[in-house]
A and B are shown apart, each in its own frame.
Chain A
């Protein structure tokens, strides 16, 4: 005689290591299978968009650190680009190269974290995270050397970057990019790619199809895992990305395993970009002279950058005053979660955790 069971509601999070912050998933399960999933967010809502309306354009830069605190540099960059677009500010060439170098270093740091946490979610408790953290720490050391902070860097400014790099930066970067990280990424590949346990755990889990990915506005590794070679750095180059040679890795199955491979390959491509940027790095000023309380002309601007999580966009409306009239952030972490239900319903709870880990959300950015 079959045993009768009825659906049970299980709270995954908000206080759970596999939800990467304070994200809560209310899963309705029948046995081990998920029947319905409801996401509850807002535990980290700090109303940055409202706060920004009472602060000058320059004072808003630290907010962008605290959105995606694992990728503060790209957050800074996206915001500064939008204000520069609105005010028509030219950025010196050296600053543009420094922006590229730091964005790519940040991408490596964020992808290290994402890869390590993803393997952690797959069940390899803590050891791979420590491998990835070891390499992320070295990148953060470079940030600390340049701007004094490791996570909330507040490095980019409207019209350039806050400080020029110190003398010991380039030798340290050279050691990291040429002698250290390439071998570490080789090590990741040896350990992870083709690892039978990872493949059993992550293949055909959390599948997105190309149609679904476009319809749901997915960006970043989520979109590329579905086989669509879309990268804002190539499609809409900002700073000096149009002078760099690099490839966009894409997946074919759209599953969690593909997303992990894409992140590892993107870290290698970031190394390529950094090498070229260092090679081409010109002399000159690192910042153009912009008033601290800049008043851009009335109007609106939307600009976007490729953050490690996806397309990070900033929509800024100015009325000619010293503070933005309206400031909206297109947070990739939020929009990539649009298909969470489609991806997880029908799977087991353990697979849902793997799926969520492969999306690589950041709750600071999700809730803002």
Chain B
């Protein structure tokens, strides 16, 4: 194997390679990943699989993240021959998320796409049989969405009501100064 440890390809390198074939397919480039245009996502996926440099023949995993204004479908591709891994995201509309299915290209995607559809509600166009995987067919809604069973008025429960990390703090401040003494 060329690398002793799996090399994580930077987003810029992946984006440059995709742009050589499909110049307008990349929407955004981040250090860790590439965001694709949903309209041409399927073409890019086919290119990723068959390209010699990217060589993403192995679909490591796919999942989805609810970003409140949109839903990101996240793909990790890997090359077993060159031992590298890279990440690609396809954004979808939050209310009507539709993303092209990659099941025709990767057999390993068809169960995972069903899972994403079941729990996040993303519709994969071109999937052979897009039905719920874990939950029953009459289940209301898609539970992994952030607004699933949300409280009225944007009330928060549980841990989400606690403050986020503050710059300059280590997260240790919650600890009492003298444990066990009540001070």
Contacts and interface: CB of A to CB of B under 8 A. Distances in A.
A325 to B, nearest CB: 8
B80 A217 contact: no
Interface size grouping (class) on chain B: 35 or more
A217 B163 CA distance: 39
Contact of A321 (B59, B157, B160): B160
A320 B164 contact: yes
A50 B135 CA distance: 14
Interface residues of A, number: 51
Contact of A45 (B109, B134, B159, B174): B134
B171 interface: yes
B61 A330 contact: yes
A298 B166 CA distance: 11
Interface in A35-57: 41-42, 45, 47, 49-50, 53-56
A159 interface: no
B47 interface: no
Contacts of A140: none
A311 B76 CA distance: 13
A90 to B, nearest CB: 15
Interface string B90-125: 000000000000000011111110010001000000
B107 A328 contact: no
Contact of A41 (B1, B109, B133): B133
Given A216-B107, A315-B74, A317-B65, A297 B160 contact: no
B165 A218 contact: no
A339 B103 CA distance: 12
A228 B80 CA distance: 9
A58 B61 CA distance: 24
A212 interface: yes
B165 A295 contact: yes
Nearest to A289: B172
B32 to A, nearest CB: 7
Contacts of A330: 60-61, 63
A49 B65 CA distance: 11
Interface string B139-167: 00001100010000000011110111100
A236 interface: yes
A94 B144 CA distance: 38
Contact of A291 (B59, B106, B112, B174): B174
B171 A217 contact: no
B134 A338 contact: no
Interface string B54-68: 000111110101100
B1 A235 contact: yes
Contact of B162 (A215, A322, A328): A322
A313 B61 contact: yes
Given A42-B134, A50-B144, A242-B4, A216 B108 contact: yes
Interface string A55-78: 110000000000000000000000
Contacts of B162: 321-322
B6 A236 contact: yes
Contacts of A54: 157-160
Contacts of B157: 54
Interface of B: 1, 4-6, 32, 57-61, 63, 65-66, 74, 76, 80, 83, 85, 87, 106-112, 115, 119, 132-136, 143-144, 148, 157-160, 162-165, 170-172, 174-175
Given A55-B158, A302-B61, 12 more contacts: A54-B157, A55-B159, A214-B58, A215-B108, A217-B58, A217-B59, A218-B108, A235-B6, A295-B165, A311-B60, A313-B60, A338-B110
